[in-house]
Amino acid sequence: MSGSARLACVDVDYRVRGAVAGCVLFAGWTDAAPARELVATARAEEVAAYVPGQLYLRELPLLERVLAQVTESLDVVIVDGNVWLDGAGAPGLGARLWDARERQGAVIGVAKTAYAGAPSIPVLRGASANPLHVTAAGMDPAVAAAHIREMDGPYRLPTLLTRVDRLCRSSALL
């Protein structure tokens, strides 16, 4: 892979005793393998309870913890979830992360199901008839959708989004 990693996929996996946040860094939209992988863990007492529509309360601290390990300046961070929760600009996890990053670069949200009332661009990949739902902050949503469409992998989920999910699930809590 040429160039330094300027793109990242992040995810969080929850366990009974805590949670693991993962990050895969990569340099180009069509990359099949990460340049580097990072994990951060949290004990159960550090993880907020799930509140519908307020996923950021639970995930944002963990995502900030894993992204704090990144030494590169990131152009884009891709999250498993929505950037916006409605057409009026109610912030979802992605928008909260964008704000936490002081709106440096962009955040793309990739959701497996549409959030009722949220504007998203459906993206079909592979042979799947079920679209991914793409939202963005700091980038034109149509450009974000095109990037997700061009990412490596023959399936609905791009290879590196699947990789960060597996990284979280396979990492031990410390």
Question: Would you say residue 2 lies in a domain?
Answer: no
In the chain, pLDDT over 90 holds for what percent of residues?
81
Give me the mean pLDDT over the 61-76 stretch.
Answer: 96
- pLDDT band (50, 70, 90) for residue 1: very low
* Domain count along the chain: 1
User: Does residue 174 form part of some domain?
Assistant: no
Kindly provide the b/e burial profile for residues 74-112, where b requires at least 16 CB atoms within 10 angstroms of the residue's own CB: bebbbbbbbbbbeeeeebbbbbbbbebbeeebbbbbbbe
Phi-psi region at 89: left, alpha or beta (left = phi > 0; alpha = psi -120 to 50): left
- Residue 124 in domain: yes
Residue 164 placed within a domain:
yes
Task: Average the pLDDT over 70-90 and give the result.
Answer: 93
pLDDT of residue 88: 86
- Report how far residue 104's alpha carbon sits from residue 21's, in angstroms, rounded to the nearest whole number: 21
pTM, rounded to two decimals:
0.94
Question: What's the chain's average pLDDT?
Answer: 93
Of the CA atoms within 13 Å of residue 63, those in its CB half-sphere come to 27
Is residue 158 domain-resident?
yes
> Could you report the per-residue pLDDT of 107-125, keeping only the tens digit for each?
999 999 998 888 999 999 9
Residue 150 half-sphere exposure toward CB, CA atoms < 13 A: 10
Q: What is the DSSP letter of 49?
A: P
Give strand pairing partners of 110.
Answer: 80, 134
Supply the pLDDT for residue 2.
Answer: 42
Report if residue 137 sits inside a domain: yes
Contact at 8 Å (CB) between 20 and 13? yes
Segments forming the whole domain that contains residue 122: 7-169
CATH number at residue 156: 3.30.2170.10
Give residue-wise pLDDT tens across range 46-65. 899 888 768 899 999 999 99
Token code pair at residue 65: 């913890």
Distance, in Å, from the CA atom of 146 to the CA atom of 64, rounded to the nearest integer, reads: 26
